Chain A
Amino acid sequence: MSVTAPESPVTAHDLETFGEEVLTAFLLEQGADEPLAQDDPRRVLASIAVTGGWSGHVTLDVSRNGADVLARRMLLADEVTEEDVVDAIGELVNVLGGNVKGLLLEESALGLPQVVTLPEAGARPDRVEVCHAELLWAGHPVNVRVWLDEQDHATAGDNS
């Protein structure tokens, strides 16, 4: 499911397009899809800030099992460490964030990725979601969201 708020500088279709490019370039489509681990509720959440004329965040969240699979695909490794998983998911949100930033008309800067593992799906942040796409990488659902920071939200009016 993909959703875009009205007047968003970025659309769900944009996120899906970026997702396809990442899928191909980073070999995430290589190999058979791996089964979802239904008994592991942990999620890996990555976030990167875009600041400037338009300020917001791009986030990516995927199951812990899915994050492991993606890291293994990116490294072409049979096993990966926790550090590798954090690195890989951070790099994925970095690439998505950079591409989102490229769509903005206003001058802006990209932050460094932040990655955390949550015991389960977390509460939604107190921000305005401007678009959302659910991608499918290596058989695992990956939720990518673009959020508008509160300051810009107050300036732009309520688009939710």
Chain B
Amino acid sequence: MKILIADDSRVMRQIVIRTLRQAGYDGHDLVEAGNGAEALAMVGSESPDLVLSDWNMPEMTGIELLRALRSADHQVPFGFVTSEGTPEMRELASSAGALFLLAKPFTPDALRDHLEGVVA
């Protein structure tokens, strides 16, 4: 399975990757994007099975990325990993087509709970 991780922070991308491994998701192909625009291009070029995206990024935010994907009829499973976990943000994410919103900081257990049923 290929997972695209989109976050403007390289440090956070590394933390997500590390936490995926700690949560037991070893052996998956992990690719990275530094902002929403780059992630949009990489969905086309890499054909990931799942996108894990930050919300607040330069160039194109995570919600703009998701809306662009769905507007293009691209149904790749999508989840947010973001510092903002308010009910309003969760509703916005869900309405746009995200499967979940995982708030930072997060533990391996929390990540596993959100990915159950999405990642084998």
User: Using Cβ atoms and an 8 Å threshold, which residues of chain A touch B44?
Assistant: none
Q: Is the interface of A mostly helix, strand, loop or mixed?
A: helix
What does the 1/0 interface line of B57-93 toward A look like (CB < 8 Å)?
0100000000000000000000000111110100000
Residues of A close to B107: CB separation below 8 A: 24-25
**Inter-chain contact B84/A101, CB cutoff 8 Å:** yes
Count class of interface residues, chain A: 20 to 34
Q: B108's closest neighbor in chain A, by CB?
A: A25
Query: How many residues does chain B have at the interface if contact means C-beta atoms less than 8 Å apart?
Result: 21
Of B10, B82, B85, B105, the residue contacting A87 (CB under 8 A) is B10
Please name the residue on chain A nearest to B104 by beta carbon: A95
- A74 vs B14: C-alpha distance when bound (angstroms): 8
Interface residues of B in 8-51 (CB under 8 A from A): 8-12, 14-15, 18
CB <8 Å contact, A74 and B11 = yes
B89: nearest chain-A partner, CB-CB: A102
What distance in Å separates the Cβ of B16 from its nearest Cβ neighbour in chain A?
A: 11
Q: How far is the CA of A91 from the CA of B83 in the complex (A)?
A: 9
Q: Do A76 and B83 form a contact, CB below 8 Å, given A90-B9, A91-B12, A98-B104?
A: no
